[in-house]
């Protein structure tokens, strides 16, 4: 009997298995709710965890449909490659002119503001003779000069088309940040080991009275040898409602003694690679509060770089972009960081250690930030009396106790 039951069970099993097995060429029903992009596009959207759909208990099964996935709307790229001549025509700028084919193909494009010189495949350009660093090297496409759209927006337009940087007209506030201080000594001189913090503070203290003569309300993030965190320096600028923020530094590439010259930095625009990373992550998608001032940052940096080069005679290392410099992230105003020479270069260091040279640097920054004549804050002629403050003749320059504001008594 048991043998007979076993035979019946075996026959039933094979019959059921045959019914379940698909015939040749047949396919399983497609599951419309499965995101097939996951298999076919490994570089597409992040994989979605597959879950069986749950039918709501209060909905008739025949009327219910699986949830429709949100429609993927293609994100329009921030920029694309733009024909420079087409852009120039639209913006009333002169068309590009071929300057040279050797050693690098070079073009110039100009407006009433000045002249930009671009080299094919090269991120280094010049504006009125001052080096600036682009995000991407220009290209020749179908025989025409093309520039990446983000460079057009963030570099060319502010300089070629935009009005010059407008300085605040009445009692403007500027925060000067002497780099380093206290235990954070910065780099050191190759000549005698003196620290960067000594030179930056002295430069700032020399600069403050010159700016005050031009009508600025001047605040220093510190007026003695103390170490403030980068975030505190930014907070200080915000608390004092800074309309400009400038951080003063000196450079080093020790043990390499060769690099020399002046660089001026502003924060890298979102979507653009930085000029300098120093091993830090350079995430192009990052956006900082100060990116709202990309165009003004560039104009301020160019203005300062030109004045510093003119006054010092040092090598031009250009207007550069960086993301890792914390003091450039947060200010809600135009902000730059100056590297005024290399303490790792014997020639630069010899000048930096000279008080007269630091006075030149201070004068250069003050000259660059002199408000236009219509503001009424003109620099006094040589030998003339210093401007008065609150009816008192300015003779000495001291920090106000507990405020870091420098004023004439």
Q: What is the CATH number of the domain that holds 151?
A: 3.30.457.10
Listed in order, strand segments (DSSP E) in 58-112 are 81-83, 97-100, 106-111
Q: Are residues 185 and 320 in the same domain?
A: yes
Within a domain: 390:
no
Residues 314 and 358 in one domain: yes
E strands along 347-409, which residues?
388-389, 392-393, 398-399, 405-407
> What's the domain count of the chain?
2
Distance, CA of 132 to chain centre? 13
Are 185 and 300 members of one domain? yes
H-helix or E-strand containing 299? helix 294-312
Q: For residue 102, is it within any domain?
A: yes
Angle in degrees, 0-180, between the axes of helices 355-368 and 196-213, rounded to the nearest 10 = 40
pLDDT of the chain, 409 residues: tens digit per residue: 544 445 455 545 444 444 444 444 443 333 333 333 333 333 333 333 333 333 343 434 344 444 444 444 443 434 689 999 999 999 989 899 999 998 899 999 999 999 999 999 999 999 999 999 999 999 999 999 999 999 999 999 999 998 888 887 788 999 999 999 999 999 999 999 999 999 999 999 999 999 999 899 999 999 999 999 999 999 999 999 999 999 999 999 999 999 999 999 999 999 999 999 998 999 999 999 999 999 999 999 999 999 999 999 999 999 999 999 999 999 999 999 999 999 999 999 999 999 999 999 999 999 999 876 543 334 333 333 333 333 333 223 334 444 444 443 3
Residue 353 lies in a domain: yes
Report yes or no on 61 lying in a domain.
no
Domain C-terminal end among 161, 183, 218: 161
User: Same domain, yes or no, for 142 and 229?
Assistant: no
pTM comes to 0.74
For 201, the domain range is 173-371+395-407
Q: Do 333 and 248 sit in the same domain of this protein?
A: yes
- Nearest alpha-carbon partner for 338 in 370, 369, 365, 313: 365
Helix, coil or strand: residue 265 = strand
């Amino acid at each position: 009997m048991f043998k007979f039951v076993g035979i019946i069970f075996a026959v039933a099993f094979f019959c059921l298995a045959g019914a379940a097995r698909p015939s040749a060429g047949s396919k399983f029903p497609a599951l419309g709710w499965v995101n097939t992009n996951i298999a076919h596009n490994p570089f597409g959207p992040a994989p979605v965890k597959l879950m069986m759909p749950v039918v709501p208990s209060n909905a008739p099964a025949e009327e219910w449909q699986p949830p429709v996935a949100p429609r993927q709307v293609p994100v329009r790229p921030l920029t694309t490659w733009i024909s420079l001549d087409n852009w120039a025509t639209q913006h009333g700028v002169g068309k590009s002119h071929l300057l040279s084919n050797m050693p690098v193909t070079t073009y110039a494009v100009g407006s009433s503001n000045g002249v930009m010189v671009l080299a094919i495949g090269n991120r280094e350009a010049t504006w009125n003779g001052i080096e600036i660093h682009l995000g991407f090297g220009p290209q020749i496409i179908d025989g025409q000069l093309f520039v990446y759209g983000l460079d057009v927006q963030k570099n060319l337009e502010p300089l070629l088309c935009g009005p010059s940087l407008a300085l605040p007209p009445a009692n403007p506030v500027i925060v000067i940040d002497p780099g380093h201080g206290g235990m954070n000594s910065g780099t050191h001189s190759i000549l005698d080991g003196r620290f960067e913090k000594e030179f930056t503070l002295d430069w700032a203290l020399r600069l403050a009275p010159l700016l005050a003569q031009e009508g600025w309300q001047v605040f220093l993030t510190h007026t003695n040898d103390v170490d403030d965190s980068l975030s505190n320096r930014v907070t200080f600028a915000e608390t004092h409602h800074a309309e400009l923020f400038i951080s003063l530094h000196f450079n080093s590439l020790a043990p390499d003694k060769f690099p020399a010259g002046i660089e001026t930095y502003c924060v890298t625009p979102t979507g653009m690679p930085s000029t300098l990373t120093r091993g830090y992550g350079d995430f192009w998608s990052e956006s900082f509060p100060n990116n709202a001032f990309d165009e003004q940052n560039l104009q301020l940096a160019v203005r300062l770089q030109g004045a510093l080069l003119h006054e010092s005679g040092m090598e031009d290392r250009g207007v550069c972009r960086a993301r890792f410099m914390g003091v450039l992230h947060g200010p809600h105003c135009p902000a730059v960081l100056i590297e005024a020479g290399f303490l790792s270069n014997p020639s630069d260091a010899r000048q930096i250690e000279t008080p007269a040279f630091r006075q030149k640097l201070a004068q250069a920054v003050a000259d660059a930030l002199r408000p236009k004549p219509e503001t009424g804050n003109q620099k006094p002629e040589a030998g003339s009396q210093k401007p008065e403050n609150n009816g008192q003749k300015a003779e000495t320059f001291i920090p106000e106790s507990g405020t870091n504001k420098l004023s004439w008594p």
